[in-house]
Amino acid sequence: MKASFDDIFVTTTCPSQEQLLDYVQGKLSPEERHAIELHITDCEMCSEALEGLMAIQQKEKIPGWLRQMKWETLSKLRRKSRTRRPVDFKISLVVIVCAVIFLVLALFWTYYFYVRK
Ligand SMILES: [Zn+2]
């Protein structure tokens, strides 16, 4: 039981994003390269990730891009959570106020209409 858990753990130990980047950029030692190549034959996720990294021609810029992408996503999320809520709140408030005014006017108008008749 324990052995099979250990096996699962070993086969799912993926190299870090930095290790994959170092591999693509040729910064790893032959042993490390070999370890990653061995892992890739077993791991579809890592081999696909590596293919994607290799497809990018300007390999030196990858770490910067990743950081920038992360930063942009975070700042977008932050902007959304900051500005969206008050706007939605204001719009729904306007809609509610308009609906109440319309309802009061409609009631008043029908009441007035019936009384006059
Ligand atoms: Zn992997």
Task: For 63-76, write each residue's pLDDT tens digit.
Answer: 777 777 777 788 88
Q: What is the 19 CA–ligand 1 centroid distance (Å)?
A: 11
Would residue 34 count as lying in a domain?
yes
Averaged pLDDT, 98-103: 94
Q: Where are the alpha helices (DSSP H) in the chain?
A: 2-11, 17-24, 30-42, 44-55, 62-116
Q: What is the 98 CA–ligand 1 centroid distance (Å)?
A: 57
Report the distance separating Cα 46 and Cα 20, nearest Å. Answer: 8
Contact 11, 42 (CB under 8 A): yes
Q: What is the 44 CA–ligand 1 centroid distance (Å)?
A: 7
Would residue 84 count as lying in a domain?
yes
Answer yes or no: do 36 and 74 share one domain: no
Confidence of residue 2 (pLDDT cuts 50, 70, 90): very low
What's residue 71's pLDDT?
78
Would residue 21 count as lying in a domain?
yes
Percent of the chain at pLDDT exceeding 90: 26
Q: What is the 100 CA–ligand 1 centroid distance (Å)?
A: 59
Answer yes or no: do 72 and 113 share one domain: yes
Report the distance separating Cα 17 and Cα 63, nearest Å. Answer: 10
Q: Indicate whether 38 pLDDT > 60.
A: yes
Residue for token digits 């300007």? 58
What's residue 61's pLDDT?
65
Answer yes or no: do 77 and 117 share one domain: yes
Tell which wins on pLDDT, 17 or 63: 17
Counting beta carbons within 10 angstroms of the beta carbon of residue 16, is it exposed (0 to 12), middle (13 to 18) or buried (19 or more)? exposed
Q: Indicate whether 79 pLDDT > 90.
A: no
Please count the structural domains in the chain: 2
